[in-house]
Structures are given as C-alpha cells and as structure tokens.
Chain A
Amino acid sequence: MKKFLKTLIPIELAKGLLLTGKRFGQVLFSANRRKVKLHVVQEYPEVVAKVQPRFRGRLQLIKDEQGELKCVCCMLCVKACPTNAIQIIAGKKEGRKTRIPTSYDFELERCVFCGFCVESCTFGAISLNHQFELAVYNREDLSLGLGGVFQSIDKPSPVAKFSYSGEE
C-alpha cells in the first residue's frame, strides 16, 4: 500500500522536468549564435534546384559553334566506362576531316555517374550535365542515342524540368 502511494508522488517526473529545464536553458542561450538563417528548406519543385558546379548528372554530347558534334570517335570513353554503358559506331561526313559518330548509344540505366568518360575525353566532347531528374515511365526511354525516341544524347533530358542545367 505504501509502495503504491509512493508511485503517486511524481518524483521521477519532477527529476526529468528539472533536467529538461536545465538543458533547455543551456541550449536557449547557446544555439544559433552565428544567427544563420533557420529556414533551411528548399522549395524545390516551385523553385529550380541549384546544384554545385561539379555536379555529375546525365551524360550529354557537346556541340561546337557550328552545331556539329565535337566527338571524333576515339573510343576512350568506351574503354573507360566501368559498366560498358557507352557504345559508339564511327562514321564519316563530307567536309569533316575527323570521324563522326553515326550512333552513340548510351544506356542510362547502367550508368553509375562516375565521370570517368568525361575525364578520359581529350576533346571535351562529352560532359555530365546538371540534370538529376532522370526518371521515365518506360524502360526503353533510358536507352539514349543520337536522335533517340524519347530523349536524345546531344540534348538535355526533357523530363528534368526543375533541375538546373548549366551548359546546354
């Protein structure tokens, strides 16, 4: 009976509240001393999301000023790719000394976004752009090529509307 009565007196509760109050007081005067903005949420779909300049997004072929592909089919990116995501068939074009890819197949579903292909390219012909919204409805849409069915390797992705794409 005495034990039961003892449980009615909230000693433990008082101890806990004391600790909470002590700690709360400590943090109240020490937290956010640098007066940084507490609003850390990005309103992402409404506001375009910015990524860091070195961000590695989807692979994209770069064109020069005349609108021609810079790629000369040296196949270094094919060799560098750890997951064999790139396949190139080289071709020729009139009025151009170097070779030009007739097809540049890129399997987005196999890409690991390591950036080894961009690193290996000595002509600056490919880059990983800043797009990160790469989800599609059909699996076939992840096979990219020149003049692809849904998205093309030499243009930014049409689905990534809210991700910042730096160079286009």
Chain B
Amino acid sequence: MFKSQEMEINMGPQHPSTHGVLRLKLRLDGETVKHCYPVIGYLHRGVEKICENKAFFQGQVWTDRMDYCSAISNNLGWAEAIEKLFGITVPRRARYLRTMLNELNRLNSHLLWLATHAMDIGALTVFLYCFRDREKVLDVFEAFCGSRLTTSAMRIGGLLEDIPEGFEKMVKDTLTDIREGMLEYETLLSENRIWLKRTVGIARLSADDCLAYGVTGPLLRAAGVAYDIRKAHPYAAYDEMKFEVPTKTEADTYARYLVRLEEMRQSISIVEQCLGGLPEGPIMAKLPKTLKSEVGEVYHPTEAPKGEIGYYLVSEKGGVNPYRFHIRTPGFLNLQAIPLMVQDALVADVIAAIGTLDVVLGEIDR
C-alpha cells in the first residue's frame, strides 16, 4: 500500500527564500536531500557582451546591475581594472574615498545578507532591524553619488565629485547606528537557541573543498583560510589601512555568521580610519580626451562582500571598447558548492545553505 521512492522537486525559481530566480532541482528521499542540482540563467542579460560593444566608460552601468546589493564594489573593481589597463594613477584622496565607499558597501551588503538569512530561518525581527540600519547606508550613497542602489559612483581615473557638505557627520552617525544595531542583532541571534539549532554544523564546506571549487569570501575564511584580497593583493588604499582578517575553523553556517559580523566591525574601523586620515588633493587623474587602447590584457581581482570579483579585459590597438570583457563573479563560483553543502541534509537546511551563500542572482547569471 505504501511505497517508498525518491522524489524530484523544484525549489524555485519562484520561491520566497531562494533570493531571486534560483532554481534548485532536489532529489528527495523523504525529507533528506539525495541530490541537488542548481539551475541558473533566468536573469541572464549578457552583460559581458554588452560591455564589449560599449565605450570603456559606459560599461559601469552594467556592473551596477550585476550584484545590485553591492554596486560600489563592482564599480570599484571595474574602474581599477580599466585603470590598470591604461596605466592611470589615481590620486590619493580618491583612493581613500573609494576605500571608504567600498567598506560602507560591505556593511550594506552584509546587513542585507543578515536580514534575509535570518528571515529565511525565522527571525523576522532581525530583518527589520537590519533594514532600518541599511537605510542609513543607502542615504549616504544617495548623498555622495545621487543614487541608492545603482550607484555608478566611480569614474575612470578617480571620482566624479568630492564629498558633499556634512558628509563626514552623516557617515559617523551611520557608523554609530550600525555599531549599536550590531549589538542588537547579536543579542537576538548569537546565543539564540533556535538560531544555534538551525546553523551550527549546517551546510559544512571544508577548506579543501572551498579551494577545489574556487569558493572565496566569507565562506573560505569561515573554513580557516585567511585569504582576503585586501591583504593579499592590496588595491585602492587598503595597504595604508589597519584591519584584521577574521577566520573561523568550523566551516559551518554559524561560523560564517560570526565571520561576517566580525567583518562588519572591521569595515566600520576602516571607514573611520579613512575619515580620520582623509588627505587633501584632487580626486581625478589627468586623462586624455578619449581613451584609445593598445594591445593588452589585464585581470584585476578585488574583494567584493561576497568574495573575489575579478575583471578580465582584453584590448586591441586603437579600440574605444574592450575586445573581451569577462567577469569572475563570486556568487557563480560559490553557488556550485551548494550540492556538496546540502548532501544528505534536510530540506530545511537547504534554505540555510542558500542564505549562507549570500546569493544574488544578478551576478550569477549576469
């Protein structure tokens, strides 16, 4: 009368906790996941090909729309890749401001991650608290570059405008609010018994697997590998900043939560250092009127909130647009580790695994 068989179900692409249009084909035995197969491509726009057909400076608007939760990190990587290609030296003040914006963006992205991750697992209060504080960071972006989400903040050779009036006070207030807010999130989550039950030992990914799959960012650091591009290959003004790279060895969802929270604290410290030692001077390098490229290729990795985002550019002689434009997005490589993370886990743990990966489908599909 009763028969047992494996069942194949789709999770997503229209599922509230898959963060966008991620589709997971799950083969289930009861409630145990036997196999997980992520299907992507529902948000594919062909960013790389579009950027190859646009002038160098125009490509920025598509980098905004890749990882729409951390647009400034994408902009920064893009701008520095092109500056590397043309050999442009950015003024020191611009580098400081870029670093500051990038770290604010890391705060923004991690706050959004914490909000959605906690909500998926069931802590709705954290979601509201995080969004309350994230709003202030977005206001800072709006004051600086006029847009909250799709910032287009960088320019080749520096920045468009200097900081507006009253900007430093605004940033300082935001940092105080986030620091106080972080106490509240930790109070709600760190020792919460339900949170511990749902995260400790869930979705493990060992350091060897991380390295084998090319997983970067907080996932790699939570597995005990202290690899941070800000330290390993400093860009912008990170060589002048004092910060630590937090690591944990447990490699589970809870360890990633702790690593990301510690990263937020380091980000607050970096922003304060930038504000304290903001040098005077120009914010834009001297550039030729039109950028005409020589034959060359360049790869520039930067540390986005989700991991290593690298821009690979190939240019031809006399070209006004890149011959080849490739983006190594962290989400894409992190996502391919999900079958390993949820192997023989419960269906409810798949939600935790998706949350801890911090997936944004805009950058995975591009």
* Contact A55/B191 with A32-B180, A114-B152, A116-B57 known, Cβ cut-off 8 Å: no
Is the Cβ of A52 less than 8 Å from the Cβ of B143?
A: yes
Is the Cβ of B187 less than 8 Å from the Cβ of A56?
A: no
Partner-contacting stretch, out of A22-30, A58-66, A98-106, A139-147: A22-30
A136 within 8 A of B: no
Is the Cβ of A33 less than 8 Å from the Cβ of B145?
A: no
A21-60, CB under 8 A of B: which get 1 and which 0? 0010011001111101000100000000001111110000
Is the Cβ of B193 less than 8 Å from the Cβ of A16?
A: yes
Interface SS of chain A: helix, strand, loop or mixed? loop
Bound complex: CA A26 to CA B143 (Å): 34
Is the Cβ of A55 less than 8 Å from the Cβ of B146?
A: yes
Is the Cβ of A40 less than 8 Å from the Cβ of B132?
A: yes
Is the Cβ of A128 less than 8 Å from the Cβ of B146?
A: yes
Is the Cβ of B146 less than 8 Å from the Cβ of A54?
A: yes
List CB contacts (< 8 Å) of B44-89 with chain A: 54, 57-58, 60-62, 64
By a CB distance below 8 angstroms, the chain B residues around A53 are 143, 164
Is the Cβ of A54 less than 8 Å from the Cβ of B61?
A: no
Bound complex: CA A34 to CA B139 (Å): 20
What is the interface size of chain B, counting residues whose CB is below 8 A from a CB of the partner? 31
**B142: contacting residue among A23, A26, A52, A119, CB under 8 A:** A52
Is the Cβ of B146 less than 8 Å from the Cβ of A26?
A: no
By a CB distance below 8 angstroms, the chain A residues around B152 are 114-116
B267 within 8 A of A: no
By a CB distance below 8 angstroms, the chain B residues around A16 are 193
- Chain A nearest CB from B66 CB (Å) reads 13
Bound complex: CA A53 to CA B161 (Å): 13
* Contact A54/B191 with A40-B132, A116-B57 known, Cβ cut-off 8 Å: no
**A116: contacting residue among B58, B135, B142, B193, CB under 8 A:** B58
Is the Cβ of B144 less than 8 Å from the Cβ of A54?
A: yes
A159 within 8 A of B: no
Q: Which of A33, A116, A128 has the most CB of B within 10 A?
A: A116
- Chain B nearest CB from A34 CB (Å) reads 7
**A82: contacting residue among B61, B135, B188, B193, CB under 8 A:** B61
Question: Quick one: closest B residue to A30, CB to CB?
Answer: B183
Question: Quick one: closest A residue to B192, CB to CB?
Answer: A19
By a CB distance below 8 angstroms, the chain A residues around B244 are none
A112 within 8 A of B: yes
List CB contacts (< 8 Å) of B115-150 with chain A: 132, 135, 139, 142-147, 150
Is the Cβ of B160 less than 8 Å from the Cβ of A51?
A: no
By a CB distance below 8 angstroms, the chain A residues around B57 are 116
Is the Cβ of B193 less than 8 Å from the Cβ of A26?
A: no
Question: Quick one: closest A residue to B161, CB to CB?
Answer: A54
B336 within 8 A of A: no
B14 within 8 A of A: no
Bound complex: CA A128 to CA B142 (Å): 14
Is the Cβ of A56 less than 8 Å from the Cβ of B146?
A: yes
A104-137, CB under 8 A of B: which get 1 and which 0? 0000000011111001000000001000000000
Bound complex: CA A48 to CA B143 (Å): 18
By a CB distance below 8 angstroms, the chain B residues around A114 are 60-61, 64, 150, 152
B176 within 8 A of A: yes
B184 within 8 A of A: yes
Is the Cβ of B180 less than 8 Å from the Cβ of A31?
A: yes
**B61: contacting residue among A32, A36, A112, CB under 8 A:** A112
Is the Cβ of A113 less than 8 Å from the Cβ of B58?
A: no
What are 11 inter-chain pairs, A to B, with CB distance below 8 A?
A23-B187, A31-B184, A33-B180, A36-B177, A54-B161, A54-B164, A82-B58, A82-B62, A114-B152, A116-B57, A116-B61
Additional A-B contact list (15), CB under 8 Å, known A32-B180, A56-B146, A56-B147: A15-B193, A19-B191, A23-B191, A30-B180, A34-B176, A40-B135, A53-B143, A54-B145, A82-B58, A82-B61, A112-B150, A114-B61, A114-B152, A116-B57, A116-B61
